[in-house]
Amino acid sequence: MTVASIVMGIMLAVLFVALGVAKLLLVPFMARAAEHFGISPTNYRLIGVLELAAAGGLVIGLFWPPLGIAAAVGLVVLLIGAVVAHRRAGDGAKETFPAVWIALVSAATAVVTVLAV
């Protein structure tokens, strides 16, 4: 493992713990987001569970890289879904950019970790 793969994995894990918990608790801004995207609260909470699972996979991946790589790739897939949800909801580039950016960071994390193994 390189310093870059460790730092990127930890940063993504922290981000997705925060996002996953917010979705699970359905805090007000997440409830509004679920409504905006036309996603039921139950399904939005399921997305939060997936985000927490990915965060856990990234942390465990610090010790067992194949799991970290799988978690990062899973986040890329999840974030592609987020981009699609934004576009279907009529959101523009400004609203969609964070999902695209984090997908790219997740992909970079997977690549850096593969190269570090």
Give the pLDDT confidence score for residue 4 in this predicted structure.
92
Q: How many CB atoms lie within 10 A of CB 11?
A: 13
CA-to-CA distance for 2 and 5, rounded, in angstroms? 5
Looking at residue 61, its amino acid is G
Cα 11 versus chain centre, distance:
11
Q: What are the tens digits of pLDDT across the range 33-49?
A: 999 999 999 999 999 99
Provide the 3-class DSSP secondary structure of residue 93: helix
Give the pLDDT confidence score for residue 34 in this predicted structure.
97
Instruction: For residues 97-111, give the mean pLDDT.
Output: 97
- Dihedral of CA atoms 5, 16, 104, 106 in degrees, nearest 10, equals 40
Of 63, 62, 82, give the one whose Cα is nearest residue 74.
82
Looking at residue 93, its amino acid is A
Q: What are the tens digits of pLDDT across the range 43-98?
A: 999 999 999 999 999 999 999 999 999 999 999 999 999 999 999 999 999 999 99
Indicate the DSSP class of residue 3: H
Class of residue 107 by CB neighbours under 10 A (exposed 0-12, middle 13-18, buried 19+): middle
Give the pLDDT confidence score for residue 117 in this predicted structure.
84
